[in-house]
Amino acid sequence: MQCSSSRRWAVRPLSHPNRVNKILLLLFRPQRLSFSSSSSSSSRTNIILKSQSESETHINTIIMEDEVSKQKQKQATSRSMEFLSSKPYVPPQWASHLNPIPSHIFSLAHLPTPIHKWNLPNLPNNTEVWLKRDDLSGMQLSGNKVRKLEFLMAEAVAQGADCVVTIGGIQSNHCRATAVAAKYLHLDCFLILRTSKVLVDKDPGLTGNLLVERLVGAHVHLISKEEYAKLGSVTLTNLLKEKLLNEGRRPYVIPVGGSNSLGTWGYIEAIREIEQQLQIGTSQIKFDDIVVACGSGGTIAGLSLGSWLSTLKSKVHAFSVCDDPDYFYDFVQGLLDGLEAGVDSHDIVKIQNAKGLGYAINTPEELKFVKEVASATGVVLDPVYSGKAAYGMIKDMTEHPKKWEGRKILFIHTGGLLGLFDKIEEMNSLVGNWSRMDVHEDIPRKDGIGKMF
């Protein structure tokens, strides 16, 4: 016989996934249950109670999802309203033993940056690559450097600085980000930019990062690569600092790439951000590996230390684009010691050489790879950092597929898009894809019909 009085609350898919509609559907869409004549009254009651319990569970899940969504929206709104403001810094619980802990942080980046699956072709079997889009951390401030600058600029302002001094290559993303951040905070910016000896006495032009730096009024000082090699960045920034002090200024010096122990906190924070994204996301994914470019060392120090201390526990792979791995193991160790981390750099990060012909110099194969990735996935890599790191990662996967099979990898896109503008001549032969549109003479024409918006 059938039990006509028993009802089960059923969830059915809706074309529009509105949570309120889902709950109403749970409450008001009964579905008849059938019982055999041999079913006992007790078993029928148990089924009904189970159905009610499942319904309550579904409703609670929907409510929890709604609360998580509201929390995310609230955090995003709160962060946007705090842009360019300073606030006391509270570290992740798992990093609270590090010393010193920054006192304040400036909100400069648009965070959190997205994470999405990256459908790179020709990956090893069952290997997934996901992308952390730190290239979307802003426009003028895009890239990984802004995370470090949130802490460095907070200290500069706290110390009463009226200007900042930093140093880098002629197309330094860090110098561009520093120049913009400084102007946001009403500070002057003095840049020492490394260039070739044949160009050191000439106007550096307006290509790529230089255009932004000069638009925001940065004071550009050029030094030849040869002089830079003999003097070093510390001596050069100190010389400019002394000059400014003698002029009555209050300069704050930021090292190459913002990479010191204070700047390292930028990517310790990034690990907390990734943790939170995974906790509130729907993918239920756990990353086995994190892959990133290494140019000055601060980013990999923060990522590797944060991953090691946190619940993430992903293996960090760094592809160096300038100095050799041994140099970076030593440099990162210095940053870790500066935080009293009590860990050996060799134990928390694997550094591989990906510099190729040298810093900011590309082989045709590397540039072709950047073009192919853009064509296949829509993701544009810069040729100096993430382009070389991704090229090195794919090369390693090709040579050692078993090492990567079945692993879930998070690649950190560190930005640097403006650096592509310095490669226009080298990239020109790779793009093509243009022609004049042919419109047959029989197609009717009328003057003024096409509006030139």
Please give the full DSSP string across 171-212, using - where no structure is assigned. T-HHHHHHHHHHHHTT-EEEEEEEE-TTTTTS---S-THHHH
What is the rounded CA–CA span in Å between residue 132 and residue 379?
A: 12
Residue of 183, 188, 177 lying closest to 140 (CA atoms): 177
What is the rounded CA–CA span in Å between residue 453 and residue 449?
A: 12
Catalytic residue among 107, 137, 142, 172: 172
Q: Where are the beta strands (DSSP E) in 281-325?
A: 289-294, 315-320
Residue of 175, 113, 115 lying closest to 149 (CA atoms): 175
What is the rounded CA–CA span in Å between residue 412 and residue 293?
A: 8
- The DSSP H or E segment spanning 408 is strand 408-413
Are 91 and 310 within 8 A, CB to CB?
A: no
What is the rounded CA–CA span in Å between residue 301 and residue 305?
A: 6
- The DSSP H or E segment spanning 5 is strand 2-9
Asked if 345 is an active-site residue, the reply is no
Q: How buried is residue 181: exposed, middle or buried, by Cβ count under 10 Å (0-12/13-18/19+)?
A: buried
- Report the Cα–Cα distance between both ends of the chain, in Å, rounded: 73
Strand, helix or coil for residue 346? helix
Residues belonging to the active site: 172
